[in-house]
Amino acid sequence: MLVVEDEPSVRQLARGVLETQGYEVLSASNGQDALRVARGHKGSPIRLVVTDVIMPQMGGKVMAEWLKTTYPDLKVLFTSGYTGDTIAHHGVLDAGVEFLPKPYTPAILARKVREVLDNRIASHHQEKKRGNPDASIKAT
């Protein structure tokens, strides 16, 4: 997974919490940095991006759209400390978009990440039940 956060202390905390949960975690300081990190990543596909919405150089929504061209099954969890009106302008509060307001505790972050990843697995099982032979689960 990839954590994208312009505030170093929040980025380090999120990365540490998620690594403690057993995830392989890459990190970046803004959207442009995230694209560079993703291009250089040679391991298993990135399944989830946990990203701040508003960052210098390139925000989370634009960065996520670019990443989805390479990782079409990518899940995105947006985070922000801004008010709902400010982030709504960025399209993050649209239906179906996963969002975690800041500040959050380590336990809440870990639980929300698991929930987002499990939602993907649940939709895989629904596709499988519908007889979609292309449905497949990728390792967490």
CATH code at 55?
3.40.50.2300
Percent of the chain surpassing pLDDT 70: 77
Domain assignment present for 74: yes
Is there a domain that residue 121 lies in? Answer: yes
By residue range, what is the domain housing residue 9? 2-129
The 10s digit of each residue's pLDDT in 9-19 is 999 999 999 99
Q: Which of 23, 10, 8, 17 minimizes the C-alpha distance to 107?
A: 17
Residue 63 amino acid letter: M
Q: What angle do CA 116, 66, 91 make, to 5 degrees?
A: 60
Mean pLDDT of the chain: 84
Q: Give me 79's structure tokens.
A: 């985070």
Average pLDDT of the residues in 99-117? 96
Q: Is the model's pLDDT at 102 over the cut of 90?
A: yes
Q: What is the mean pLDDT of residues 104-126?
A: 79
CA distance 124 to 138: 10
Q: Is 42 within the bounds of a domain?
A: yes
Position 122, amino acid: A
**Edge to edge, what strands does the sheet with 98-101 contain?**
26-28, 2-4, 48-52, 75-80, 98-101
